[in-house]
Structure 1
């Protein structure tokens, strides 16, 4: 495969310190050289983006307008794929234009006037511009639906099907997936012609060693556990939540505790989300709080930890979350914060994935396998002794010793006094 790449691409390959092509890259390179529809299924972090980009870019003609359309389920993924595509496209003097919702549409229209060969974006905005005839769907040589398993399960699938209807029947459609499970029942709606399925999940060897672990902790103490983790040396993690509201509440508590972190959620602007991704990538903070919006496609180099503040509801979501670590042979750990009930659900997911689950503890500035006593976590306890005088008596007032009868009488007297006061009060 590498020998078939243009010389300028071979230099780019070496510049990125890539070694041998991955299995999905080898197989798709051969298939996409022909004009046929393909569903490519490969584990997260196995190089799927380049697997379809390289063969498809070689088929494009410079200066002939939009010929390759790549659709993704989120703005972050679209921006990231565009970042990957640009250096390879520039080597062939091809132009890339991103078309995503939430961004300035006028600026995007200005970009389309330059007749970019590659358009990358989200389905809603792309369909809008196709209907406005700003994107020429009939000119497309290929349509890529990346993270198609996610797209099928979201509202974006309606817009994606709208895009599919606008392209020529003979235009090849390439679906890319990490699991392929949710796509099987939708094949007839997605592909207009016969589709070749390439699933290298069982053969792929790019996945690094990933530990699946949990810390048993009640919900009310999870923010404290995050605080401990954040102060562990060299700790850096994506922290996943099931809801934006819980994410926001935990973010406020971490701010109160003085724990530096960033958030990546659907209620943020595109600019805020882009800034969070960039700052986390550059290591400015150790925690990036997100929902499943950050579980697909995002690639952070040398990320070792994924923390699940909430256990996902579906096994597929667990697969995508854990896919942020262990990419291209690197190691990683998925650390779930669970109570007893959630632990049962987590064990079930791990069994389905045929993985091993181990218990961990955050203590003494480390993530350890053996439980350390609370006193050791908080440091040595100080025993406070009362100061005594030279004769051994306490400096504080000494209690007057009384016989049991005297104590009872005093107690009774006090009680009668209180009752009298109370009665007088009511009488008054």
Structure 2
């Protein structure tokens, strides 16, 4: 207490109170200092100070002493150093004045970059074990495959010239050279013969570059328009991996798989499984080891799937829900799995399977080769996916989200009540088969019933029907027994209907990505198709602007109802060039920027709704869709 009560030398001495100086509060001292500086500034002329000014300054009283604990105490003696050390407010003002003028366009671009960085700052697509132990992989997997010597010696300039010719954009280090012939890929003869039987003589652009990349063991993001042959890019190398592993060390009961393909819908998984089986049959016939694939989807008895697992499985094609179920129950393990493909990767994330996929990653015990494929993969998915990939190669054929140029797009304004009648007229445009898309299940059932009453051979599928009914409908439509398939977007993701000449959008989807996938069911493998879309006042202006820009990009006829729309992006080509992103970086729509993205707003509202359900005790568990 003695130290606390002792008077300082500045306030008292041995003479008691004779030399006592009155205490001046800090606020008052600051006011006095400000007044002194003001007077000093007023007395100082624009040029050098005069003698009279110097006298005025000399007549000013000295500033009061500051206490030792004051922030500016000991920094040059009171306020004499104020001009040398301006306040933070003064510094900020000076910086603002010195900063260059920021235009409105530059300000929007900066805002978009911040939004994209924030969107990309999500949990990385890695297993919990890898994150916890800090495990990272720096080198891609080695497969032992090498292209022929003449391709390895191909000059880089010639490889770039071939890519320009095929409109292939690549991004990555040490990209393997493109292969213009299937024989250059060193595939077994039975696989080459099967390709010829299917009428596939020359590889498509995505196959020209994608197959050498995957066969060499590199991680890859593959982006190409619908119907361009992406499935073969990841199916053929997977079969090669399975054969190689089986020949080196045969699989025993309960082991496997060596490779896995994850799809967003059961129909797409079944289609991919059928493609794999088509190539395995001729291989087995000529003496190659037996390769057992497994179709792991919901809606099917799990016991039949477990029987295949018990024998030892080489390849698994799965939907996320059933796969997660098998792994959680320890009915199957991924100890030997080193090949993973996410087909329609952006749809897997959008449909809410992101956490399921991350749980699947937890079951990998070592490094794997990871491949992501889609027709619509905006930057936000690419940035998010790169966390799981090792030195990835991005192979892009055309703009991500662009429509297939082999599809003639016809957009017609049809009133809500007249759509069902006009649908019958549209069915007369081309011979069957015809695919009709709707937004909701109720419309699918309504149109299906109406067409049956009118004598049209039609079938329908949507998420509310059981798996057997869905499979029978798809099978009868593919075999030509039925002329029309009415479906929701469950049939729009990657399904291959080779002979479809006409797709009708009974509803214009709210997201332009779904529109691109829908019309991509026709015009496949170089054939020409027609897509008719009904629009009316129920669609938002943002959706219609996205459609208008998509038609303009594909050099299609723009109907008057779209041409008359007030387009805010028509004069913003400069912004697209400066930002490096044309349209929206979140959903790929060309009619708006990311700051006005309706899909982003919807995702935010869904996230808020989900958090509220958890807060009030609801939700918390999402079963398989």
- How many pairs does the alignment contain? 358
Q: Give secondary structure in 2 for the equivalent of 1:120.
A: strand
Report the counterpart of residue 76 of structure 1 in structure 2: 267
Report the counterpart of residue 394 of structure 2 in structure 1: 197
Q: Deviations over 1:27-76 (max 9, x none)?
A: 22211223332111111111111111112221222242310111101110
Report the counterpart of residue 55 of structure 1 in structure 2: 237
Residue 208 of structure 1 deviates from its aligned partner by 5.5
- The separation in 2 between residues aligned to 1:270 and 1:158, in whole angstroms, is 24
- The separation in 2 between residues aligned to 1:7 and 1:288, in whole angstroms, is 37
Would the alpha carbon gap of residues 16 and 233 (structure 1) be closer, same or farther in structure 2, given more than 3 Å must change? closer
Contact 2:293 2:314 (8 Å CA) reproduced: yes
Matches within 5 A, 1:211-222: 211-222=408-419
Q: Deviations over 1:60-113 (max 9, x none)?
A: 222423101111011100100000011223314312110101110001101111
Would the alpha carbon gap of residues 359 and 302 (structure 1) be closer, same or farther in structure 2, given more than 3 Å must change? farther
Q: Which runs of 5+ in 2 are unaligned?
A: 1-180, 561-625
Structure of larger gyration radius: 2
- The separation in 2 between residues aligned to 1:347 and 1:334, in whole angstroms, is 18
Q: Does 1:9 align with 2:191?
A: yes
Q: Give secondary structure in 1 for the equivalent of 2:420.
A: helix
- The separation in 2 between residues aligned to 1:246 and 1:226, in whole angstroms, is 13
Q: Give secondary structure in 2 for the equivalent of 1:317.
A: helix
Report the counterpart of residue 167 of structure 1 in structure 2: 364
Q: Deviations over 1:306-362 (max 9, x none)?
A: 1000001111111111111111110011101222564964454131451323569xx
- 1:38 corresponds, among 205, 212, 220, to 220
- The separation in 2 between residues aligned to 1:201 and 1:297, in whole angstroms, is 17
Q: Give secondary structure in 2 for the equivalent of 1:69.
A: strand
Tell me how large the CA RMSD over aligned residues is: 2.4
Q: Larger relative contact order (C-alpha < 8 A, sep ≥ 6)?
A: 1
Q: Give secondary structure in 2 for the equivalent of 1:113.
A: helix
Report the counterpart of residue 123 of structure 1 in structure 2: 320
Would the alpha carbon gap of residues 49 and 33 (structure 1) be closer, same or farther in structure 2, given more than 3 Å must change? same
Q: Deviations over 1:141-189 (max 9, x none)?
A: 2011111011010122221111122213411111111121151242255
- 1:326 corresponds, among 507, 518, 523, to 523
Report the counterpart of residue 113 of structure 2 in structure 1: none
Report the counterpart of residue 23 of structure 1 in structure 2: 205
- The separation in 1 between residues aligned to 2:188 and 2:484, in whole angstroms, is 40
- The separation in 1 between residues aligned to 2:384 and 2:403, in whole angstroms, is 28
Q: Which runs of 5+ in 1 are unaligned?
A: 361-428
Q: Give secondary structure in 1 for the equivalent of 2:228.
A: coil
Would the alpha carbon gap of residues 126 and 340 (structure 1) be closer, same or farther in structure 2, given more than 3 Å must change? closer
Would the alpha carbon gap of residues 112 and 230 (structure 1) be closer, same or farther in structure 2, given more than 3 Å must change? same
Residue 231 of structure 1 deviates from its aligned partner by 4.9
- 1:268 corresponds, among 462, 465, 490, to 465
Report the counterpart of residue 382 of structure 2 in structure 1: 184
- 2:440 corresponds, among 235, 243, 249, to 243
Contact 1:32 1:56 (8 Å CA) reproduced: no
Q: Deviations over 1:213-240 (max 9, x none)?
A: 0233211121112223345561432111
- 2:351 corresponds, among 148, 154, 162, to 154
Would the alpha carbon gap of residues 192 and 299 (structure 1) be closer, same or farther in structure 2, given more than 3 Å must change? closer
